[in-house]
Each structure stands twice: as C-alpha cells, then as structure tokens.
Amino acid sequence: MPKDLKQPIILWFRQDLRLEDNPALVAACQSGRPIVPLYILDETNPGKWGLGGASRWWLHHSLCSLNTALYQRGSQLFLLRGDPLEILPKLVQKYDAAAVYWNRCYEPYAIKRDRKLKSILPFSESFKGSLLFEPWEVLNRDGEFFKVFTPFWRRALEIAAIAPPLERPEQIPTHKVESEPLESWKLLPRHPDWAAAFGSHWHVGESAALSKLKQFLDRGLERYAELRDAPGIDATSSLSPHLHFGEISPRQIFHAVKSLPSSTKFLSELGWREFAHYQLYHFPQLPERPWRAEFADFPWEKNTNFLKKWQQGETGYPIVDAGMRQLWTIGWMHNRVRMITASFLIKDLMIRWQEGEAWFWDTLVDADLASNAASWQWVAGSGFDAAPFFRIFNPVLQGEKFDPEGLYVKQWVPELTDLPKEFIHKPWRATKNFNPLYPSPIVDHQMARLQALAGFKKIKAGS
C-alpha cells in the first residue's frame, strides 16, 4: 500500500449498512487515512435477482439512516449508481486512493465481481462482516462440505471462537467525492404507493436494529422457544431485514444471546442463516436449480390463475391468505406461515417453487438470495437437508394448531372476523356469520395432496 497518508481509502458499503462491528470501517480508520464512505447502486446484477421492490424501499431508508450516523461523526455517505467494476477504478485514479475496503458478500455474482475487482485493484482488501463463519472454512473430516444442517452447525461452533463485536469509530475523517442525490434513484414506490403501510410497521437503520434486539431479549428467550410458531403472537425477533442489509451483524446478535437461558433454539436459527449462505456458496445454482437433480423432472402445473390467487391471498384457505396479505401489506411474513404458504403453492397447487421464490424476492423486505432459495428448496424437498416431499402441510390443521384462536387470521383476513374459532380455519363449513365475499377453496386439499404424491412417485420411479 502506498505510504502517503493523504491518499484516501474508499470504504465500499454493501450489505453492511452500520458503523458498529464493521471490520472494513475499523480497518480503514486504523489506517490513519481519510475515508470515502461510498455506496454504489449496482444495477449490473444479471437476471431476475436485482433488488426487489420491497428491498428498494428498505434500502432507501437504510441509506438515509447510515448517512445520519456518519454525519454525527463528521462524515457523510457518498452515492453513485452503475457498475462497480467501472466506478471504483475511476475513483481510485481520480482521487489517488490508496485502496478500496469492503466486507464480503456471498452471492455468486458478487463473488465473481469482487474477484475481478481485486485483480484490477491489487491493494484492495475484503473482510468478514456478514457471516459468523466463512463458507469455505466449515468442512467435514473428508474435507468436503456438509449437506445436513446439524453436523454443519456443530462443526462450525467447534472450529473457532467467535470474536466479540468491534466498537464503532467515534470520528471518521472523510475525503469528499462527487455524489448523486438519493431521491434520483427512485427507490420508493410512487403511483401507486403499495408500501404505504411499511413505514408504520418498520423502523429502519442501525439504531432501530439494536433497539429491536434489546426489546426481543427483554421479552425473554423462553418466550421465543415456546411461542415462536404462533403467528398471532409477537414472539419472534423480526431482525431478518436488519441482518440482510447489515444494520446489525450476526456477531452482535450471537454475543448478545449466547449466555442467556434458553438461547440454543434462537442461536440455531442464526445457524440456519449461515447454512443458507453455505449452500449458496457451494451450489451457486441454488436459486434456479434443485439441489436434488430428480426434482428437475417433477410434473409441475402452469396455472397463472391459481398463482395470482395465491399471490393476492384469495385461495380460500384462511391461514394461507392471511400470510400472503401480511406479506403484501408490510413486506414480511411470519416464518411458520412462510412454510405453510410455500407448501400450499408447491404441493396443493403443484406450481414450481421458483415462482414462489420470485414473488417473495420482490415482496419481502428481508429478501436474501441465499435464505430465500434455501427455504423454498427446503419446503419443496429438493434442497440440502430438506423436508421430505411427502411432508405436505394441511392448511386447516396448521391453522388450528398454530393459530387456535384465529388471532392471526382475523388480523389479516377481516372478512372472517365474525366467525367463531371452530370455523375460522374452515369457513366453508360455517352456516352463520360466513362472509360470502370470502372465496371458496380453489382446490380440495386432500385431492391435491394425492396428486402431489403421485407426481413425487413418478420422479422417484425415474431416478
């Protein structure tokens, strides 16, 4: 690295929109050089995995929050749009920058891009700031990657102690460069403003993430372990969008939780996030192709009418419709209901899991390529350590088990508010107080289940 301490370091923010426990930021500050805090709206991401609509909404507010935090420390966030492979070398040359620092991302296109950038800018450095473990670090005794979660997580926790979080710098000496106004990126929806309810539900940014973690822990992890599957009760952390955008690090969460009673279950969920990124790293085709090759020949149905009814929460199954309406309204869905809605699309409607994956990608504020793909393949039975295909959720029984009083359904499907709880998950059986505006089931679950199992039998016979 050049010795002139006047040469700045470009700090390239990506999925690490925070100041605390930010290894690239800390290293840049320790260099003694001025820093260029930069975010690039990378519009070169190929295919359908560019930022979804809900993610764009979150990103806008997260960048605002990060800029405020930087301003409080005598700095600011600079914004540019385009191809980082073109923008960064030009900035390095124009401002005689000493290096570019960033925290690693693990999507296949990001890995390819970053490797090329390092070949162009050999003084660049990358850091681990988004995962507890690097995907290439956790291997079995034969030096191969794990295909099952439990041994993966056990081995991951054995290989090294997880270092404590880094403190945030109090002052960030800054070198100014050109910048675009955030509003020019048009990340927020306008006409119509389908995200109108997002702002009343979500507080975005690093401070909000830390507050949410504290509130969650104040409720107690015992409550989480007991009630995490009940969608009508506020028992989960809702930290997933903050984690994806890096407003809080997994290391911060791990150390806040690890010594508390009943921490095992919650930490294992953090482990599943690690395992999703691990899968994507070792099988980059995860978002498009089934890990279990036989599922490529599954006899899927192409029914755009059923797909649209599922997307709009008009299937006639209340727990499914409640989940899909919650997703559209606030950009998030309870995890238990994610499994139920995914199972219904794949196994009741026989629609390809990639269709659901794409819809969630566009509508979730926590849309994460690794977690989204791994979760859909888990439900479909085609992924790593997946649920067996013959595990087909009955939407009525799932509703009765996890939402017995109908609290969740009545919140998101107000047409059924007046139904007694014995009919809330099977309203077609009610003789009184049934709202005729609520649709009848679009398929018979028992018949759909038999059709799905027949399709599975067919591919098993051919494998």
CB of 348 within 8 A of CB of 452?
A: yes
Q: Which of 328, 376, 378, 412 is catalytic?
A: 376
Q: Which of 125, 137, 272, 400 is catalytic?
A: 272
CB of 257 within 8 A of CB of 299?
A: no
Q: Which of 202, 291, 328, 353 is catalytic?
A: 353
- How many whole angstroms separate alpha carbon 13 and alpha carbon 38? 6
Q: Which of 226, 300, 303, 314 is catalytic?
A: 300
Buried b (16+ CB within 10 A) or exposed e, 269-308: bbbbbbbbbbbbbbbbebbebbbbeebeebebeeeeebbe
C-alpha 75: how far from chain center: 29
To the query of whether residue 300 is one of the catalytic residues in this protein, the response is yes
Q: Give helix then strand counts, H and E, for the chain.
A: 19, 5
- DSSP letters, 280-315, are HHH-TTTTTS-SSGGGGG------HHHHHHHHHT-S
To the query of whether residue 269 is one of the catalytic residues in this protein, the response is yes
H or E stretch at 82: strand 78-82
Query: In this structure, how many other beta carbons lie within 10 angstroms of the beta carbon of residue 163?
Result: 12
CB of 374 within 8 A of CB of 383?
A: yes
To the query of whether residue 335 is one of the catalytic residues in this protein, the response is yes
Q: Which of 137, 185, 226, 335 is catalytic?
A: 335
Cα-trace Rg, the chain = 23
- Helices 206-219 and 250-257: crossing angle, nearest 10°? 20
DSSP designation for 362: H
CB of 276 within 8 A of CB of 237?
A: no
CB of 419 within 8 A of CB of 406?
A: yes
To the query of whether residue 170 is one of the catalytic residues in this protein, the response is no
- 3-class DSSP assignment, residue 400: helix
CB of 249 within 8 A of CB of 19?
A: no
Query: In this structure, how many other beta carbons lie within 10 angstroms of the beta carbon of residue 47?
Result: 8
- How many whole angstroms separate alpha carbon 237 and alpha carbon 306? 32
Q: Which of 137, 226, 269, 314 is catalytic?
A: 269
- Which residues participate in catalysis according to the annotation? 269, 272, 300, 335, 353, 376
